[in-house]
Amino acid sequence: MSETLIPNIVEFMAAVDPFDKLDRKTLRDIAGMITIRYLGKGEVIDLQESDQLYLLRTGAVEQRNLDGSLRAKLAAEDFFGFSRLTQQEANIASDPYTITVIEDALIYCLSINTLLAKLNDQPNALAHFASHAQSRLQSGLNVVWSQHEKGLFFKPIIEVLNPQIVLVESTQTIQAVATAMRVNANSSCAFIMHNNDFIGLITDKDMTKRVVADGIPITEQITTVMTEMPYTVNRDDLVIKAAALMMQHGIKNIPVVDNGLPIGVITPSDLVQNHRIQAIFLIDKINKIERLEQLAAFTIERQAIFEALVEAKVAINVIGQVMAMIMDAYNRRLVMMAEAYLGAAPCDYCWIVAGSHARNEVHMLSDQDHGLILANNATEADKVYFHHLAMYVSKGMALCGYELCSGRFMAVTHKWCQPLAVWQAYYKKWAVNPEYDLLLEMSVFLDCRHIAGNPQLANELQTCMCQQLANNVRLISALARNALVQKPPLSIFRNWVLVKEGENANTLDIKTAALSIIVNLIRVQYLQLVSRLFSNNGSVIYKTNTEERLQLLLTHKVINEVTFKDLLGAFQFIIQIRYGHQLQALQQGKIPNNHINPNAFNSFERTHLRETFKLISRYQEIIRMKYC
């Protein structure tokens, strides 16, 4: 390599992930090992005996599988030629493919063995070159989240627990336990032990609600009123786990255990004093609000919580769950406020939510998707009442920052405020006639869960839905075809496939281009699994969360471990990109959206987005062959 060319090569490689993470000396050493090739359009690169890693400086190539199908198109800053490198991975082999130059190319070539030796002590950079998509995507997630231990939500519970606890025996009376709580530690709870095993919990509020209010004699044993098998956390668990338990289950005293034995308790006051985890307290404040304008005033606090979660690099499933819990709290409180304003509901009902809200994948753009299931004895006058209730809740949610659904999939719409029998008829109609309009409606309400009212109505509707799925090949096929309509932006390799018109012109719609496709593809296979399981035993625990669905597909061997890691890595990476984009918009005082200027992506993000798009495209082909 001519010394005069090295500075130019270094400058180029310094902007390409993962070379941008190397120190200047290492980068210069690697640049000095490179050979340069000029190839014309139509030339084929033989990878069978090659020990080279190729980096495109200019021009373009295409990869095709041995059956002739397109694998990918590559341009400047893309790598290929990983067949030897994959031998370094445990039992992972790269798929064979051909490389053809489709635009005159200048290519940097580097011996793989030489590169491995040079990067041997830099695993994050080395992992990037793995040919397997999951390895590359996961390395991206690890690099981005490597600072997670600095996050507000990631302190060990041992740092915030209250070690002043009361241990009592299961044979003690209610009065004796109450005395111990007051005298020993002035504690708000006591832990009940039996033969050195931790078996239950009693709080001061339990004493009021379960003993005083119900007139239970204080001479009874404490086991008659204790909470058996309470939720617990371990001493080394992270604070966010305790916070999530508090929010999800509405509890305020969580035992901290070590090898199963209690060593302390963690409460909201412990958290706010030490780490200011406001999500718990926002939910608590929401539950106590009486006026709509007070509720709407919490929007800024909700935004601050989202920013704190994203900045702290909290796992994306935790962010979605926390934001969903907050949205649940708004929704439930507004239903209660509507009932207080309108009077008691005239019949049984169930408020359900759909879409990202139902999947616990809420973000700052999540809008309202919901419906009302009424008891079958609901009258026309009852429907008028629930229409007013839906209006109150929908407007209230909008005032609190949750946009109205542009497709009007909301309880305020007459069609989505109906008795259970009508809802069941909807599912039966969708199942026998899965055409476009009906398929769109069904897709919205395939993901739904109970928020307020009688959950049995939602359970019965879910059972009806599973019945329609059972052995319904035509419906599964229609849902699969619907999941294949949108394609990831692989057709243009030098520039992204961008929105062409309107205020978001020349941007990449990260939701449409990737996230919705992954969610829909995973849902198709999950629904096929539900169909099979329901046919076998007549019942199934229906999951709405995408990651939970993916885990079940692995558990039931619908997909293998490699596919599981591929899809999970792609799903998490895309959501991470979306969250980061929304965070940036909020910090700049802008309204967040899903449209990203491709110039905003750094080399790292561009590389991993391309890997994600390739993976999605391959998975779509698998779904096409299997279901269409």
Distance, in Å, from the CA atom of 152 to the CA atom of 103, rounded to the nearest integer, reads 49
| pLDDT at position 286 | 87
pLDDT band of residue 436 (cuts 50, 70, 90) is low
Last residue of a domain, one of 141, 174, 192: 141
**For residue range 561-574, what is the model confidence (pLDDT) as tens digits?**
999 999 999 999 99
pLDDT band of residue 133 (cuts 50, 70, 90) is very low
- CATH number for the domain spanning 241: value is 3.10.580.10
pLDDT of 121 over the 60 cut: yes
212 and 288, same domain (yes or no): no
| pLDDT at position 317 | 84
Average pLDDT over residues 284-310: 85
pLDDT of 85 over the 60 cut: no
Last residue of a domain, one of 382, 405, 430: 430
Distance, in Å, from the CA atom of 408 to the CA atom of 416, rounded to the nearest integer, reads 9
Handedness of CA 404, 410, 411, 415 (dihedral sign): positive
Average pLDDT over residues 115-129: 69
Question: Which range in 140-144, 191-195, 300-304, 605-609 is most confidently predicted, on average pLDDT?
Answer: 191-195
285 and 395, same domain (yes or no): yes
CA angle (579, 582, 588) in 5-degree steps:
140
- Residue with the bigger pLDDT between 365 and 437: it is 365
DSSP 617: H
pLDDT band of residue 593 (cuts 50, 70, 90) is confident
Instruction: Find, among 32, 33, 18, 29, the residue nearest to 111 by Cα.
Output: 33
| pLDDT at position 153 | 55
Last residue of a domain, one of 246, 266, 286: 266
Average pLDDT over residues 114-137: 62
| pLDDT at position 262 | 92
Instruction: Answer for the pair 430, 442: CB distance below 8 angstroms, yes or no.
Output: yes
Tokens of residue 402, six digits: 């949750």
| pLDDT at position 315 | 78
257 and 290, same domain (yes or no): no
Average pLDDT over residues 315-340: 90
| pLDDT at position 140 | 45
To 10 degrees, the CA torsion angle through 295, 300, 303, 308?
Answer: -120
Owner of token pair 């200047």? 24
DSSP 169: E
Give CA 352 to chain center in angstroms: 20
pLDDT band of residue 47 (cuts 50, 70, 90) is confident
Give CA 142 to chain center in angstroms: 16
Average pLDDT over residues 147-155: 47
499 and 608, same domain (yes or no): yes
pLDDT of 115 over the 80 cut: yes
- Range scoring the smallest mean pLDDT among 236-250, 376-390, 442-456, 565-579: 236-250
288 and 257, same domain (yes or no): no
- Residue with the bigger pLDDT between 28 and 83: it is 28
Instruction: Find, among 592, 612, 607, the residue nearest to 310 by Cα.
Output: 592
- Helices 133-144 and 603-627 pack at an angle, to 10 degrees, of 140
Does residue 360 sit within a domain? yes
Pairing of strands 233-234, 370-374: unpaired
The helices-and-strands tally (H runs, E runs) of the chain is 24, 19
- Residue with the bigger pLDDT between 146 and 468: it is 468
pLDDT > 70 fraction of the chain, expressed in percent and rounded: 85
Domain count, the chain: 4
Per the rule left: phi > 0, alpha: psi between -120 and 50, beta: everything else, 6 is: alpha
Distance, in Å, from the CA atom of 547 to the CA atom of 604, rounded to the nearest integer, reads 24
DSSP states along 25-44: HHHHHHHHT-EEEEE-TT-E
CA distances from 622 to 470, 512, 559 (A): 22, 20, 11
494 and 609, same domain (yes or no): yes
| pLDDT at position 432 | 85
Domain that holds residue 80: 5-141
pLDDT of 615 over the 70 cut: yes
Instruction: Find, among 450, 420, 353, 339, the residue nearest to 385 by Cα.
Output: 339
Instruction: Answer for the pair 201, 166: CB distance below 8 angstroms, yes or no.
Output: no
Tokens of residue 611, six digits: 């890997």
| pLDDT at position 93 | 47
Longest CA–CA separation in the chain, Å? 93
| pLDDT at position 257 | 93
pLDDT of 550 over the 90 cut: yes
382 and 399, same domain (yes or no): yes
Pairing of strands 189-194, 167-169: parallel
Please report which residue ranges of 484-560 form alpha helices under DSSP H: 510, 516-537, 546-555
pLDDT > 90 fraction of the chain, expressed in percent and rounded: 40
pLDDT band of residue 595 (cuts 50, 70, 90) is confident
Bridge partners, 256 (sequence order): 233, 264
Instruction: Find, among 437, 451, 442, the residue nearest to 402 by Cα.
Output: 451
Does residue 148 sit within a domain? no
551 and 572, same domain (yes or no): yes
Beta strands in 272-332 (DSSP E): none
Instruction: Find, among 285, 303, 305, 307, the residue nearest to 294 by Cα.
Output: 285
| pLDDT at position 523 | 95
- Range scoring the smallest mean pLDDT among 227-241, 345-359, 378-392, 405-419: 227-241
pLDDT band of residue 124 (cuts 50, 70, 90) is low
Question: Which range in 50-54, 477-481, 535-539 is most confidently predicted, on average pLDDT?
Answer: 477-481
Distance, in Å, from the CA atom of 321 to the CA atom of 150, rounded to the nearest integer, reads 21
502 and 537, same domain (yes or no): yes
pLDDT of 87 over the 60 cut: no
pLDDT of 91 over the 50 cut: no
Mean pLDDT over the full length of the chain: 83
| pLDDT at position 500 | 61
Sorted by sequence, the CB contacts under 8 Å of residue 71 that are 6+ apart come out as 62, 63, 64, 65, 95, 97, 614
Average pLDDT over residues 220-231: 92
Instruction: Find, among 10, 50, 45, the residue nearest to 28 by Cα.
Output: 10
- CATH number for the domain spanning 34: value is 2.60.120.10
Tokens of residue 496, six digits: 């992204």
| pLDDT at position 572 | 93
pLDDT band of residue 391 (cuts 50, 70, 90) is very high
| pLDDT at position 488 | 84
Instruction: Answer for the pair 83, 47: CB distance below 8 angstroms, yes or no.
Output: yes
DSSP 491: S
Give CA 223 to chain center in angstroms: 39
- CATH number for the domain spanning 338: value is 3.30.460.10
Does residue 442 sit within a domain? no
Q: pTM, whole model, 2 decimals?
A: 0.69
- Range scoring the smallest mean pLDDT among 21-25, 92-96, 290-294, 526-530: 92-96
CA distances from 295 to 292, 469, 491 (A): 5, 40, 47
Bridge partners, 62 (sequence order): 73, 100
Question: Which range in 235-239, 297-301, 466-470 is most confidently predicted, on average pLDDT?
Answer: 466-470
| pLDDT at position 126 | 62
Burial of 73 (0-12, 13-18, 19+ CB in 10 A): buried
Pairing of strands 79-80, 261-266: unpaired
227 and 325, same domain (yes or no): no
Neighbours of 621 (CB within 10 A): 12
Q: In what order do the strands lie in the sheet with 254-258?
A: 233-234, 254-258, 261-266
197 and 338, same domain (yes or no): no
Does residue 375 sit within a domain? yes
| pLDDT at position 316 | 85
| pLDDT at position 111 | 87
Tokens of residue 233, six digits: 């956390």
**For residue range 29-41, what is the model confidence (pLDDT) as tens digits?**
999 999 999 999 9
In one-letter notation, the amino acid at residue 43 is E
Average pLDDT over residues 162-170: 90
| pLDDT at position 86 | 46
Distance, in Å, from the CA atom of 453 to the CA atom of 352, rounded to the nearest integer, reads 9
Average pLDDT over residues 287-315: 84
Distance, in Å, from the CA atom of 434 to the CA atom of 527, rounded to the nearest integer, reads 15
Owner of token pair 């062409």? 500
- Helices 316-342 and 380-399 pack at an angle, to 10 degrees, of 130
pLDDT band of residue 114 (cuts 50, 70, 90) is confident
Neighbours of 284 (CB within 10 A): 15
Give CA 543 to chain center in angstroms: 13
Please report which residue ranges of 233-313 form alpha helices under DSSP H: 239-249, 268-274, 278-288, 292-296, 299-311
- CATH number for the domain spanning 540: value is 1.20.120
Question: Which range in 118-127, 269-278, 340-349, 526-535 is most confidently predicted, on average pLDDT?
Answer: 340-349
pLDDT of 314 over the 80 cut: no
122 and 202, same domain (yes or no): no
- Helices 299-311 and 316-342 pack at an angle, to 10 degrees, of 170
- Range scoring the smallest mean pLDDT among 74-78, 257-261, 370-374: 74-78
